[in-house]
Amino acid sequence: MFRTTLKRRWDQRRVEVKVIMSNEKSTVNRARGYWGIAAAGLLPFCALGEPGIAVDLRQAGQPSLEVRVSEPTVVAVARRPEKWGFFQFPSLARWTDGTVAARWSMAADSIVSYGGGASGTAISKDEGKTWTQPTGEKGISGFLLPNGDRLQVVTPKAIKISELRLPNSVGEESDITSKVKKLLYRYSELPPEVQGVRLARLAKGGTQWVSEQAPMDDPQALRYSLGGLFPIVWWGDMHVASDGSVIAGIYPGFRLRDDGTVDPKDGVFFYRSTNAGHSWQIQGRIPYQPDLAADPKGAERMGFTEPAFEILADGDFLCVARSTDGLGNGPMYSSRSHDEGRTWSQPEVMARFGVLPRLLRLTNGIVALSSGRPGVQLRFCADGRGKVWTQPVDLVPYSSEEDTVSCGYTSLLKTGPDRFLIIYSDFKYKNAAGEIRKAIKVREVIVRKGL
């Protein structure tokens, strides 16, 4: 059983609305109904049009969590109706001078946009409260290494296969979304142009980013071509392990099984670097293992993609991955490692749907998880172990699981021991003329343990 308590303080009085919920679907619908009350002005930081959220999350055996979500700040609004890919896929970063930088796609969601797609940008000097267009030089961000260098993973333009001397493919995967087959190749047999990890490095104290092609050691790895193009994609999260090495949890991950046969399903791969990202070695994998009871379409899906990876306070690794694909909404799965990513637990369904999960471990011990599609959701883990999660808090209302109200992609940026910013897209924003347009929004989230 799960209890949600909505609170308001008005003239020093406290009003509580309690909802008893036993499953995720009823949680979403009923919570949204009470947030409709909030829109009428019942929450402390409501603004005209869209309110903030105040909610107490209680679950048996776990500390209660007090969650406060500010009203959204609009970062950017489309001037006209836009196609898929534009005003989507937003991200947040902090520059070394403290500036918060937002970025979002202004290009088609396609392999042809890799390495060259346009983007929109904005910056905030007041922790996301107000946003302006950047002027002058771009600030410094990137993943900070223990030696003081900074790294960024680079996705170059996909190369025409007619320009490459490729080996024979060893298998194929049907791309359900594009309806085009991916041809799979042994990584070890590929020409140098499509091997390695593409990075940009800013040396400690330096002023110029330097492009690198770091060697990658993985005898079982496969890479793919799609529609006559060969992309070099290495997307995911990086963290510094307790021994100072760098661990990257990435996708896409195609491989040869131990018996030499091709696994055509996408998985999550983990690589380790002991020399500040100058080379990478395979550490472990989470192969696609669907729960067919939870997802009858699981055997037909493309696999695990878009992994979120976090190192927990007890040293365990936690990974949450997407399975949604062209077959429709699929579950998000979670898996854990007790040995720094070498071996992983059987993936378990932790939510009925969601794309691009994002994990953030706060200093106060709470772990936040964002995801979306449909809508945008936040979940929290009170004990910091990533095993028991609250029901979702919806940030973008939706009427059904087929309702496209957001791209569902989010990004989280820590701003304090108990708070962070979340950025997301809203496809139903009304501009001053009452026209529906895509918008990029940011909210501050504060989460604390209660009684």
How many angstroms separate the CA atoms of 169 and 11, rounded?
A: 71
Take residue 251 and report the two structure tokens written for it.
Answer: 């996708």
Nearest to 109 by CA among 78, 87, 84, 80: 84
Encode the chain (451 residues) as per-residue pLDDT tens digits: 333 333 333 222 222 233 323 233 323 322 322 222 222 222 222 333 568 999 999 877 888 999 999 999 999 999 999 999 999 999 999 999 999 999 999 999 999 999 998 999 999 999 999 999 999 889 999 999 999 999 999 999 999 999 999 999 999 988 777 778 999 999 999 999 999 999 999 999 999 999 999 999 999 999 999 999 999 999 999 999 999 999 999 999 999 999 999 999 999 999 999 999 999 999 999 999 999 999 999 999 999 999 999 999 999 999 999 999 999 999 999 999 999 999 999 999 999 999 999 999 999 999 999 999 999 999 999 988 899 999 999 999 899 988 999 999 999 999 999 999 999 999 999 999 999 999 999 999 999 998 5
Q: What is the dihedral of CA 394, 380, 308, 272, to 10 degrees?
A: 170
Name the 3-class secondary structure at 235: strand
Angle at 223 between CA 219 and CA 228, to 5 degrees: 155
Please report which helix (H) or strand (E) contains residue 25, including its range: helix 24-37
Nearest to 156 by CA among 200, 190, 186: 200
Total residue count of the chain as it appears in this document: 451
Report pLDDT for 39: 26
Beta-bridge partner residues of 216: 280
For each of the domains in the chain, give its residue range(s) and CATH number, in order of start. Answer: 77-114+132-431 (2.120.10)
Q: Which amino acid is at 82?
A: E
Report pLDDT for 30: 29
Nearest to 397 by CA among 92, 29, 60: 29
Please report which helix (H) or strand (E) contains residue 36, including its range: helix 24-37
Cis peptide before 252 (omega within 30 of 0): yes
How many angstroms separate the CA atoms of 192 and 215, rounded?
A: 10
Report pLDDT for 177: 76
Take residue 112 and report the two structure tokens written for it.
Answer: 């042809």
How many angstroms separate the CA atoms of 407 and 104, rounded?
A: 11
Cis peptide before 134 (omega within 30 of 0): no
Report pLDDT for 14: 27
How many angstroms separate the CA atoms of 64 and 59, rounded?
A: 7
Report pLDDT for 174: 80
User: How would you label 273-295 residue by residue, b for 16+ Cβ within 10 Å and e otherwise?
Assistant: beebbebbebbbbbbbbbeeeeb
Phi and psi at residue 192, in whole multiples of 5°?
A: -55, -30
Take residue 66 and report the two structure tokens written for it.
Answer: 């007090």
How many angstroms separate the CA atoms of 299 and 71, rounded?
A: 41
Take residue 380 and report the two structure tokens written for it.
Answer: 């929290």
Q: Is the dihedral of CA 425, 427, 428, 434 positive or negative?
A: positive
Name the 3-class secondary structure at 26: helix
How many angstroms separate the CA atoms of 312 and 320, rounded?
A: 13
Cβ contact 332:348 at 8 Å: no
Nearest to 100 by CA among 446, 407, 423: 423
Cβ contact 391:27 at 8 Å: yes
Take residue 396 and report the two structure tokens written for it.
Answer: 């973008």
E strands, 1-136, where?
2-10, 13-21, 53-59, 65-69, 73-77, 86-94, 100-106, 119-124
Cβ contact 361:367 at 8 Å: yes
Largest Cα–Cα distance in the chain? 74
- Helices in 176-287 by DSSP H: which ranges? none
Beta-bridge partner residues of 280: 216
Angle at 187 between CA 186 and CA 188, to 5 degrees: 90
Contacts of 328 (CB under 8 A, 6+ apart): 297
Report pLDDT for 451: 58
